[in-house]
Structure 1
């Protein structure tokens, strides 16, 4: 069904155009000739030919049949065959019921497929929203790290989708996860600096070994004393005065035989005893001590020089603070050792233990080892720059993936759920479409068993006869599935039909086409119907027949008795509009729930349209009936005569072309007198003014003549019109010459 029609830039519709919205099952359009009705019907028939116009369907588009002058020109030629209308025959009720049931199932599947497609569209929008959210999450990381990782982002920096796809791929990388500072440093080195190889540092192992040897020499711990076999040795040892005696011995050769300490003459042989005590062994040990002290001084000096050189090196990898801490500890320990050495020099008889440096030197060497690892890594960058750049890029993307881990996990979970739902919906659409196609195939098979053009021919000829078109009829042609119009003699009508007859025959043909099709395979498809001014060129009496056919069509649509799901009626004729819009329930208020009313106008040569909550077309004819209804219920009766006369003149004489004599001839002799009296009474009442104060017709006179007035409509087969206008219950369908369209 059509929900909305937008018409613009055709004929009198300007670029702003007109929007017909809120359309229902039944839609009535009234407008004068040239206001834009036919442009609307042409657009509805072939909307694809009007690029600026649009039809908004509630579900899928349906076949739209349009009756207008163009339909007459395309489908009716008096000198050629007419396409046959295939309909379902009446001889197989079971098959027809089966077709109806299968068609109901097809409609149900159509609705389910439409609902699934709506759900699919919603899920696809949800999928795109999830994708867009993840794209923005990824792009936020790009903005955050763009300056630092410019080269790593190369190739995807200017496209959000490409960057997002790279982030997705990075979650599968197995590179180690590096910290940001490491990546920054390497990125700055590889991408921003000029790379040259660096010589590794020498450790201070040799100095360490030599210094350890010097510190651990036994001479420092040994008590250096004289020869113990000399008789003075026992006293010297007991008093522990070897160092004191040695200082005196060093001066005794200059003291001219006197003791350097007490100035007394030395005993005979004492000097020899001292010389024997401080013999060559003693001297050798002292020389060894001096040599070890010199070795210590030299190796320590070399150690200090090496450490100072290390601290002066400008390599970025050196932790100078750490090395300086160890150097300060070494120097402090050296001060202690120097004091111990000085003490040993003064008192060789006392042993000393020098403080070792190996722990501090070991820490420095460990730092040198770390620095060399950095240098070696740097040199590898120089030797394998391309590979190292790629490795760094992978590690940067691995870092980005880890930064984006939460967003990625949320995105993947949602994507998985949505994809499963989309797959399920698509499977459902495929399954239901397959089922629908199977049912359609079965319907076509069933229709092929009972379809025929014969029922349409028979029914159209029956209606022509019922409406007194007896000088021509439809007949089959030798070409199966076509019709031709012939006279009672069997001759083709050729060009002898009047314009009114041609129009009526074409409209009759159109009405039968609604319940069938020119194509055998499309008999039961749903349709939207547009009827544009069907009463052009028709005699006034045929106007009521056409109105009756359309009223029957409207009733069938409302009660779902055919394949028409929506109707549009367009007219410029007030009386035709009033006939086709009549419904007894509407007399109590506004429009019905399943209909719309529109007036189309042309203002300053531009079409405009307005919708109404009630039927906007009111006529003096309708007001006459309204006054008659009121007059029959009041005590004043003088206006009844004039109203009856005017109604008879309008309905029967002007529009029905039925004279008073024609009316009188419909009555039996005894009633003909009453009818003639009524007509005379009405004419008398219409030509003389009466004063209700002095003259009043008896109420029984009114009642008697009103009965005859109603009888006039009965005998002329227009009782339905009488009941419609008087607002009484709906007429029995058997009394109304409805077209029984099959």
Structure 2
């Protein structure tokens, strides 16, 4: 079933949509408002006609909402169809219908159709469940996609360096999500975090970035082996002095040497530095000098030289500021400072030991080893150099470096959303399994439907023929009073019909028909085409019928016949036979006839009656294009003026005028005086023969009488208009008549 028709072509300058939930749809529009475009689009629906490239439909088809299902077909009656079927072909295609002779075959066909209908419903249910499952999964997937899409918001735009990793991934959420899915989950945490990657990107992509020179390892030669041995030596005074025995006894030449310095710095009246008695300074200095000879002084000078050398080496150990200045090496800064300080502390302690040796030359000293501290410091520097080398290599191979960082970035993202992605993949597996089950079940049902189709096809061969359609068309022609031509079988093998004149030979019978006859025969043929099928083997499909204005301006004589045909075949008695029906007309009166003349409130209708009540639409053409608007039944049912517009136009067909006269009298007197038409003409004022003739005529011409008259010579507009006027005048409603007489013709 069609749920929506969208038109944008010809007079439909902007998209005009007709939405429906009903089987029966009646559409009213003046000539030129777009009815032909509407019907022709549906007729050419499967032809890929370029004219209708911007038009579309929406259906109940679960497999493809924009197309009809394979079990549905559209049949369109419009002028294009009439031209192709009657003007362009000398013969008509046969229409196959089921004969009633083979009862057994008919029962099998009915049974197969019933089973097929059950299977179709089951298939539709399964397809709906499949679609429901898909929508549920799509909703879950959409939520995951939205959550992952946050990555794009967090890492792109502005001056974000990571923006370069999103090339081709910033416009489509689904494409971005699929990109994440393709990334394998890392077995362990990536080597770099996203923050690390950002920092490295800032460095690598900086326009002013340059390579870093490697750092020199700290070298400290320390003392030679001779110097180390010398520090262990006991440095004492001479043994040839008067005091040498005393010095040897005291074993403290350093103390005596200090006293020597004391005496040397005193005035002439010196005191002994040891006993504080007055002494002969010159004599004592002479004796002390003899204790500390030239060799002693040389050793002291050497100690001072060792100290100066050691101190210079300490001072030459430079501090590398790069550890604080360069972000690349900041991680080593604290370790570097700690190990450097530890080394210098130990070296300074050794310097103090040397100073102590200078103060007490006789005391052997040993320096502490700094190998461990020096090794620790150089290990930090080597680690920094390794990073510097890696950094310099990355600058030399920038593109490769960026690619590595990009891979590490996406590994981090994949790990960050692992829970969401893992849950999605589990749900996807379940969904695909469920869809596969649905597909299997639907395919099995389709196979069963095909089995029923085969039964129908085989049994139809036994009972299908074109005779019934021929008979139906000819019988209807007779019922309508048309007996000058009929349809006959032309070729049994090809299953074709042709039109023939009964009393004369005419090559092109259709061309010789009047406009009314052309419309009637084409429409009768269309009715049979809707009821039957193209050949005996074709499966019956659900039919969507489109009837475009079967009432032309030259065929009003048949307006009531056609209206009754349409109601009998499509909108009333055979309501359940059709999948859907669309009827278009420019005739407001015909439109009114199809809607029905009984006045009622929709609240009075049962659900079943409401389901059968049609949707009503109007096509309105304006400078901005044709629009489709909905109508209410009371817009037509209350249109009393419409009847007057028909009666007031003498150019309308007699049958139409007669029917409208009858309805005006019936409606007016029924409303004002509660009298039916028959009661109006039983009043004494209307006993005159001319009024009874008028009453009889409008009954016949409006088909209220069982006998139809087709001889238009009986109708004289002036005489009957006068009689119509007198009905109101004699009843006392002259003023009402004069008012309604001014109403113009409906456009």
The TM-score, its normalising length taken from structure 1, stands at 0.67
Q: CA deviation at 1:547?
A: 2.7
Query: Secondary structure of 2:222's partner?
Result: helix
Within a 5 Å distance, the mapping from 1:84-95 to structure 2 comes to: 84-90=94-100, 91=102, 92-95=106-109
Query: Secondary structure of 1:528's partner?
Result: strand
State the match for 1:134 in structure 2: 148
Confirm whether residue 613 of structure 1 aligns to residue 632 of structure 2. yes
Which of 604, 614, 620 is residue 595 of structure 1 equivalent to?
A: 614
Which of 552, 556, 564 is residue 548 of structure 1 equivalent to?
A: 564
Query: Secondary structure of 2:533's partner?
Result: coil
Within a 5 Å distance, the mapping from 1:566-585 to structure 2 comes to: 566-572=581-587, 574=589, 576-582=590-596
State the match for 2:372 in structure 1: 362
1:180/1:30 CA distance change after superposition, 3 Å: closer
Between 1:187-196 and 1:523-532, the stretch displaced more is 187-196
Q: CA deviation at 1:659?
A: 8.2
Deviations 1:678-731 (A, max 9, x none): xxxx99x95994799xxxxxxxxxxxxxxxxxxxxxxxxxxxxxxxxxxxxxxx
Confirm whether residue 106 of structure 1 aligns to residue 120 of structure 2. yes
- Distance in 1 (CA, whole Å) between partners of 2:561 and 2:544 is 22
Confirm whether residue 524 of structure 1 aligns to residue 565 of structure 2. no
State the match for 2:473 in structure 1: 460
Between 1:153-162 and 1:452-461, the stretch displaced more is 153-162
Deviations 1:117-154 (A, max 9, x none): 5764775576467446534514532448744x68xx47
Query: Secondary structure of 1:524's partner?
Result: coil
- Distance in 1 (CA, whole Å) between partners of 2:398 and 2:247 is 76
- Distance in 1 (CA, whole Å) between partners of 2:516 and 2:374 is 119
- Distance in 2 (CA, whole Å) between partners of 1:302 and 1:661 is 140
- Distance in 2 (CA, whole Å) between partners of 1:458 and 1:69 is 25
State the match for 1:40 in structure 2: 38
Within a 5 Å distance, the mapping from 1:622-701 to structure 2 comes to: 622-627=663-668, 629=670, 631=673, 641=683, 645=692, 648-653=696-701, 689=730
- Distance in 2 (CA, whole Å) between partners of 1:183 and 1:603 is 62
Query: Secondary structure of 2:562's partner?
Result: helix
Query: Secondary structure of 2:534's partner?
Result: coil
Deviations 1:186-211 (A, max 9, x none): 9737975444764742532x427869
Confirm whether residue 293 of structure 1 aligns to residue 334 of structure 2. no
State the match for 1:510 in structure 2: 526
State the match for 2:741 in structure 1: none
- Distance in 2 (CA, whole Å) between partners of 1:84 and 1:581 is 33
Q: Is the 8 A contact 1:503 1:538 kept in 2?
A: no
1:249/1:201 CA distance change after superposition, 3 Å: closer
- Structure 1 unaligned segments of length 5 or more: list them: 253-258, 266-270, 663-681, 693-742
1:601/1:143 CA distance change after superposition, 3 Å: closer
Query: Secondary structure of 1:307's partner?
Result: coil
Confirm whether residue 57 of structure 1 aligns to residue 59 of structure 2. yes
- Distance in 2 (CA, whole Å) between partners of 1:449 and 1:528 is 25
State the match for 1:414 in structure 2: 424
Within a 5 Å distance, the mapping from 1:201-600 to structure 2 comes to: 201-204=217-220, 206-207=221-222, 213=228, 218-219=232-233, 290=300, 293=303, 296-297=306-307, 300-308=310-318, 319=333, 321-322=337-338, 325-326=341-342, 329-330=345-346, 333-334=349-350, 336-338=352-354, 340-345=356-361, 348=362, 351=363, 356-358=367-369, 362-379=372-389, 390=400, 393-395=403-405, 397-399=407-409, 401-402=411-412, 405-407=415-417, 409-411=419-421, 413-414=423-424, 417-418=427-428, 420-421=430-431, 424-425=434-435, 428-429=438-439, 432=442, 435-436=445-446, 439-440=449-450, 442-450=452-460, 451-464=464-477, 469=482, 473-478=486-491, 479-486=493-500, 495=509, 498-520=514-536, 522-536=538-552, 542-555=558-571, 559-560=575-576, 562-572=577-587, 574=589, 576-582=590-596, 586=600, 592-593=610-611, 594-600=613-619
Q: Is the 8 A contact 2:28 2:617 kept in 1?
A: yes
1:585/1:657 CA distance change after superposition, 3 Å: closer
Within a 5 Å distance, the mapping from 1:3-14 to structure 2 comes to: 3-10=3-10, 13=11
Q: Is the 8 A contact 1:499 1:537 kept in 2?
A: no
Q: Is the 8 A contact 1:516 1:523 kept in 2?
A: no
Q: CA deviation at 1:99?
A: 2.2
Deviations 1:361-418 (A, max 9, x none): 6334412232133224434665787668735742564256426743464355436535
Query: Secondary structure of 1:514's partner?
Result: helix
Q: Is the 8 A contact 1:25 1:566 kept in 2?
A: yes
- Distance in 1 (CA, whole Å) between partners of 2:120 and 2:708 is 56
Q: CA deviation at 1:526?
A: 1.6
- Distance in 2 (CA, whole Å) between partners of 1:249 and 1:640 is 172
State the match for 2:191 in structure 1: 176
Q: Is the 8 A contact 1:124 1:422 kept in 2?
A: no
Query: Secondary structure of 1:518's partner?
Result: coil
1:73/1:134 CA distance change after superposition, 3 Å: same
Q: Is the 8 A contact 1:86 1:453 kept in 2?
A: yes
Q: CA deviation at 1:530?
A: 1.9
- Structure 2 unaligned segments of length 5 or more: list them: 62-66, 264-271, 281-285, 644-659, 711-722, 734-747
Q: CA deviation at 1:513?
A: 1.2
Q: CA deviation at 1:443?
A: 0.8
- Distance in 1 (CA, whole Å) between partners of 2:176 and 2:223 is 55
Query: Across the two proteins, how many residue pairs are aligned to each other?
Result: 637
Q: CA deviation at 1:512?
A: 1.5
State the match for 2:656 in structure 1: none
State the match for 2:26 in structure 1: 28
1:116/1:17 CA distance change after superposition, 3 Å: same
- Distance in 1 (CA, whole Å) between partners of 2:487 and 2:194 is 93
- Distance in 2 (CA, whole Å) between partners of 1:573 and 1:157 is 59
- Distance in 1 (CA, whole Å) between partners of 2:524 and 2:374 is 112
- Distance in 1 (CA, whole Å) between partners of 2:446 and 2:704 is 50
1:310/1:52 CA distance change after superposition, 3 Å: closer
Query: Secondary structure of 1:207's partner?
Result: coil
- Distance in 2 (CA, whole Å) between partners of 1:312 and 1:6 is 73
Q: Is the 8 A contact 2:487 2:499 kept in 1?
A: yes
Query: Secondary structure of 2:700's partner?
Result: helix
- Distance in 1 (CA, whole Å) between partners of 2:89 and 2:9 is 37
Q: CA deviation at 1:84?
A: 0.7
- Distance in 2 (CA, whole Å) between partners of 1:490 and 1:110 is 55
Within a 5 Å distance, the mapping from 1:155-174 to structure 2 comes to: 156=167
CA RMSD after TM alignment: 5.6
- Distance in 1 (CA, whole Å) between partners of 2:323 and 2:521 is 113
